[in-house]
A and B are shown apart, each in its own frame.
Chain A
């Protein structure tokens, strides 16, 4: 289990949760045609940009084999500790 990937996906889930709530607020607002304006259009733009960022990030993530399990970091810390002592 990759620690970095776990952290990234947790952050991604948090982002998606807050973003979804914000989109829900925009949708509620857009139900009132008198004041909706271009809210849905702008929200669609933001969804697109978010999609591009996530897509590009996944392309970069797929370049690696994510083998940074907890054992790797323990060894890394051990090595650091041994160097100091």
Chain B
């Protein structure tokens, strides 16, 4: 049977970093389940009490026999969540950044009532959920025994039992699917490409990928007090051309991820023997790509020994600079401008989209207009070279 494959990796490809959203994101779903479960559990309490002819207090008193179970789990779960948050924060300040610890202390002092209310609410909600889950067992022991009795004599109990069981399973399924939706959203940085795998609830999946040649920029953003304390933010990756930009939010330490992307891209440029520096007029070994420039509105610019021509291209701004009157030799008159990593001239088929190989070199046809800053810098370089 054909098994679907999620990742297609090149034999030489190595995964550098795998990013997932912070677990706090999933807590929103847990909170939703707890709130809805608590409300339903309260209704079950009421129904159970009414069916057994007991007051609320009497039913609750019987449940207290199992108080030790509730106490262990009800206090344990919120406490574990709190300890985990503290651990996250402390691991973030492992370098001994006293300023961040001081900020945490000030934050707790200021919002202690909200933290306490949250803890108490979580304990109550967890208690109710546990009661809801255990109510079938409790019904057999704490309440009047119904063993062996026809359900038609206690149809209310029967209906209550069926409904609570179905609801518990539905709630569990909701949590499971929500967890899948959260956990299967993965952002992969390898040494050849970036993959963004998005799980669409249960059955859908969207995978977008880009190689480092298409990346124009990578940066991160962290905002908000809690997110800043925990260093959780968004990684943005801007790609060239028609490819959609990447965005991965609620990531721990997003600055490091953006930096990793840029470092790998830099390594790829260097590995391809491409010189990045715009001021460098020396040709690379094996013949680096040569870009030629024109004014973006089509005006010809002439300098002492250079002439700018406009190439006709209906949908792009062409930059073409013709060397006029002087041969193109090694180390003279070559200029390198890059919007991304470039391949060697000897391999024209490997040119990225938007580039065209001509006799004298490579023409860049970009959809964005030539900025005045680039044109000014290039003109200054020309002037300096011609008038040393």
CB within 8 Å of B: which residues of A? Answer: 2, 4-5, 7-8, 11-12, 15, 18-19, 21-22, 25-26, 28-29, 31-32, 34-35, 37, 39, 42-43, 46, 49-50, 52-54, 56-57, 59-61, 63-68, 72
Contacts and interface: CB of A to CB of B under 8 A. Distances in A.
Interface in B1-39: 3-4, 6-7, 15, 18, 20
B4 A68 contact: no
23 contacts: A5-B162, A8-B166, A11-B169, A12-B166, A22-B180, A29-B6, A31-B6, A32-B7, A35-B7, A35-B197, A46-B179, A52-B133, A53-B169, A57-B136, A57-B161, A60-B137, A60-B140, A63-B139, A63-B140, A64-B149, A65-B148, A65-B149, A67-B151
A68 B151 contact: yes
A79 to B, nearest CB: 12
Given A8-B162, A64-B158, A53 B149 contact: no
Contact of B165 (A21, A26, A60, A64): A60
Contacts of A22: 173, 176-177, 180, 202
Interface residues of B, number: 47
B374 interface: no
A21 B180 CA distance: 12
Given A37-B183, A46-B176, A60-B137, A68 B155 contact: yes
B170 interface: yes
Contacts of B148: 63, 65
Contacts of A50: 169, 172
Given A28-B4, A60-B139, A64-B151, A7 B162 contact: yes
Interface in B156-194: 157-159, 161-162, 165-166, 168-170, 172-173, 175-177, 179-180, 183-184, 186, 188
B152 A42 contact: no
B134 interface: yes
B96 interface: no
A56 B152 contact: no
A4 B202 contact: no
Given A34-B18, A35-B186, A64-B146, A4 B158 contact: yes
Contacts of A7: 162
Contacts of B184: 25, 29, 39
A11 B162 CA distance: 10
